[in-house]
Chain A
Amino acid sequence: MSLLAPAAGILGLTLPVIVALYFLKIRRPTRVVPALHLWPSEIRDRQANVPWQRLRPSWLLFLQLLAAALLVFAALQPALPAGAALARHTILLIDNSASMQATDVKPSRFEEARRQAGSIIDQLGAQDRMTLISVGPAPRILASVTGDQGSLHRALNVLAPSSGSADLSSALSLAAGLVRPGDEARAYLFSDGIVDPLRAEFSNGLPFPIQYQRIGVSGENVALTSLTVRTSAQSRAAYLHLQNFGQQARTVSLEWRADGHLLDVRSVTITGGQGQDLVLPIPTDATSVTAHVANPDLFTLDDTAIAVAKTPRAFRVLLVTPGNVFLEQALRLRSDLQVDVVAPAAYRAGGAYALTVFDRFLPPVLPDGPAMMIDPPAGSSLAGGTPVGIGRVRAADAGDPLLANVDLQDVHVARSEDLRASTFGRPLISSAQTPLVLVRDQPFRQVLVGFDLHESDLPLRVAFPILVENLSEWMLPPSVPSRSFHPDEPVTIVPDSSATAVAVIRPDGARRVLQAGAISSFADTDLPGLYTVEQTISGAVQRSWFSVNLFSDTISRLNPPDRLTLPPTHITSAVTTHPGQLEIWPWVALAALGIVAAEWLVFHRGL
């Protein structure tokens, strides 16, 4: 045992003072009573009756001395050596990702992590410093290099579990940034080990050793990992994937609801490690559909899935072409596009179209808005130079999001206009001879394709509908994407140009007002469930929806690994550690309070 405040020993002088006070003669007021013999002859020897009399045994004096001794002892701040090895600077990384909400350890993995972290804070010595960092989708420094146990506890207590993944790399970057060269630092990671893969930046190692404290014991979990709604000409159906991540077979009761109304309840048995796909027709007028596993298990966050069933608002698209089946079909694949096809001779400017596609035709004046120009005829304003033979094509920038999932390996072009001299915009698809596809953001998002689609095998490849989809979504982003997002994933909301007010209502009923007339990135999506976007257009409220679901096999797998691959330590000298100290003064003070209460009782009982 050690004493953290030995100077407080001076307070021990109170003990002889109490004894001295006892020796002082009491001055009792005289009271006349009619019959003294009726009064009990007991007298409490709380104080001397004559000055400096011999000290007589007294329960009250004994208890007073004991209480004072305990209070003096508490003031000395006694501490017992505790189990944890602490460095001068200890970094606690507390995983607050979604999987920490699993209840295989009671009350939950997160609470257990918090408890263990709290016990290490209690062991902090007077010279020690500590840093708290949360490891969630967006790691945060909760307390930075402080020795104040109170503020550390407060920071720990306000930490709440999130619904996202654990970005351990960012958390380690934050921790490494707080450790100065020469610091004797050591880190503890309280986690179930279900973290995002570490980035390569830690290949050189960390400036401190890190110890993984595994929280969690079981991976038995049945999860809903996907839910989508597909609409065909005749009907509408929800497609659900149910996965048993555990080792044992499970029979679960699955509830389907549309807009909160129960549609179906069915019992599903899934063997360990297997999945199952389920389809359920849903009413055509339903706004949302919810699937829910009614049997409670270790992890409830993935027991409910919600999908938007309502078709988003349609855009009108004009395709001006002498005839192009491939292009027309590719445009019609997007369910929220309403495509009108006209011949170039029938084209009249000024139609209320959100997107105009000109195929082998170009009007004298381009419409004010998104447009796609394919093989503009020679002599037109956007026409390129003399056509050149091409061959294989390639992406101008392989990482361009407009080419996501577009495989150009087997795509060939016979010939194309020479666009090398074009000032239209940046190249998207190129070749050895000339850029083939150009895109620009100003004054409007527009695309220029330098070759006739019929002179390429591109329309025959899978890449074509994907490319058209990517380009049309870029030019015409849906005002509210109706797909499912992951927790904490930002959602781009493009309000209607005539909307006067825009607001998002979260699943918990909280209302967030967005700026009308500007594209907003809404990132307050930590809560799984259905989000409603309300736009006020001409006084009427127009609603659209998107959903947030966990849908993460990595998180739902739950099984905490015994070992976690963590970056090595690049420091050469060993970090000096010392055992933590468990301060016991609150218990001593509590005992003193009990003694004072006993002293009061003894006094009033007349013992």
Chain B
Amino acid sequence: MAVPLLEPAVLRRLEALALQVRRAVSGQMGGERRSVRRGQSVEFADFRSYTPGDDYRLIDWNAYARLDRFMLRLFVAEEELPLSLFVDLSGSMDWGTPNKAETARRLAGAIAYVALNALDRVRLTVFAEGPTSGGAPYRGHRSAGQLFAKLQGFPAGGTTDYARLVWPIGRQRPGMSIVISDGLGEPGIEDALSALQRARQEGAVLQLLAPQELAPDWTGDARLKDAETGVEREFTSTPLTQATYLRALNERTEQVERAAHRRGLRYARLSTADPIDQMVQVTLRRIGLLA
């Protein structure tokens, strides 16, 4: 029997969470999000004068009695949130203990589950060398199982090419996009994040790293092999060279963080050593992605 992506206990705890949206959304179907359009809900928005053709059911008869004018009551329309998940399953993610790709699948599944519970529409895209769609958008918590199976079905491998994310991102309707990646691919992730900004996406970048790359635990001579390209290089690890590596890694993560913040995106650096509950309940709450 296949191992479930997320344990039932984790799912139960996720049901208490909701995605935090900073601005009103514009979806295709009714949902639980404030829409930019006026519609049917219980939340009063405004009055306006009646013009022929309006739905006379919306005429405020009390106002007519006081003002001797037909006034229409306008309510905030509640619509669904289009949420796009971009999950990096390149070769560099298939590394570390716990494995970065596996953790990325679980994290994406957890966020998707929160969204599906709120009747939001979830679109899944995995990427390595190029983007691969995770199928038609998912809606309603009953579709969570299909989404989880899809996530588990994608193998990890290949080189990272963030540039090829630009096109699918540009097609997104305004909504929320979350990118889960280690952010280590070359060239950098900046172009993809700019595309998110242009597509009016309220999003987040979740940079996922393994503890072994945050603090290498080996020294001595080795032949280093790139997990994505397979390129090899001889190397001697000493305290000095390790310090140089950590400095480069730190610069890279700060670069990704600056790029995200500059484009109004939320950013969190996560270690695969942390349990999924801590990532969701603590880190994602701290950056305001979940509440």
Contact = CB atoms under 8 A, between A and B. Distances in A.
Partners in one complex: yes
A49 B185 CA distance: 29
A213 B283 CA distance: 85
Contact of A38 (B95, B232, B234, B245): B245
Given A33-B213, A34-B184, A46-B236, A40 B241 contact: yes
B16 to A, nearest CB: 34
B236 A36 contact: no
Contacts of A30: 222-225, 232
Contacts of B223: 28-31
Interface in A24-66: 26, 28-44, 46, 49
- Interface residues of chain A: helix, strand, loop or mixed (majority): loop
B146 interface: no
A46 B220 CA distance: 11
Interface in B217-235: 218, 221-229, 231-235
A31 B234 contact: no
Contact of B224 (A26, A33, A44, A606): A33
A36 B239 contact: no
Given A38-B248, A38-B252, A41-B233, A33 B225 contact: yes
A603 interface: yes
B225 A31 contact: yes
A604 B224 contact: no
A605 interface: yes
Interface string A1-37: 0000000000000000000000000101111111111
Interface residues of A, number: 24
Given A30-B222, A38-B252, A606 B184 contact: no
Interface residues of B, number: 36
Given A38-B252, A40-B245, A33 B238 contact: no
A26 B222 CA distance: 10
A46 B221 CA distance: 10
A436 B185 CA distance: 129
Given A30-B232, A33-B226, A36-B224, A604 B213 contact: no
B186 interface: yes
Given A30-B232, A31-B218, A36 B238 contact: no
Given A29-B222, A35-B184, A42 B236 contact: yes
Contacts of B186: 35, 37
A30 B93 CA distance: 18
A40 B95 contact: no
Contact of A28 (B100, B184, B221, B249): B221
A41 B232 CA distance: 11
A42 B234 CA distance: 9
B239 A38 contact: no
B221 A26 contact: yes
Interface in A581-607: 603-606
A33 B239 CA distance: 17
Nearest to B213: A34
A32 B227 contact: yes
Contacts of B182: 34-35
A39 B224 contact: yes
A43 B227 contact: no
A34 B95 contact: yes
Given A28-B222, A38-B245, A44 B233 contact: no
B96 interface: yes
A39 B240 CA distance: 12
Nearest to B245: A39
A31 B236 contact: no
A606 to B, nearest CB: 4
Interface in B248-272: 248-249, 252
A386 B239 CA distance: 116
A604 B237 CA distance: 10
Nearest to A37: B186
Nearest to B182: A34
A38 B222 contact: no
A607 to B, nearest CB: 9
Contacts of B248: 38-40
- Greatest chain A CB density within 10 A among B93, B228, B241 is at B241
Contact of B240 (A31, A34, A41, A606): A606
B222 A40 contact: no
Interface string B147-179: 000000000000000000000000000000000
B117 interface: no
B235 A43 contact: yes
- Greatest chain B CB density within 10 A among A26, A38, A49 is at A38
B26 interface: no
Interface string A539-579: 00000000000000000000000000000000000000000
9 contacts: A28-B223, A31-B223, A31-B225, A34-B213, A34-B226, A39-B235, A44-B236, A44-B238, A603-B238
Interface of B: 92-93, 95-96, 100, 182, 184-186, 210, 213, 218, 221-229, 231-236, 238-241, 244-245, 248-249, 252
Given A31-B225, A43-B233, 19 more contacts: A29-B221, A30-B222, A30-B224, A30-B232, A31-B223, A33-B213, A34-B93, A34-B184, A34-B227, A35-B226, A36-B224, A36-B226, A39-B233, A39-B248, A44-B236, A44-B238, A46-B221, A49-B234, A606-B241
Counting from the closest, the 7 A-B pairs by CB-CB distance are A606-B240, A36-B226, A34-B92, A44-B236, A35-B184, A40-B244, A28-B223
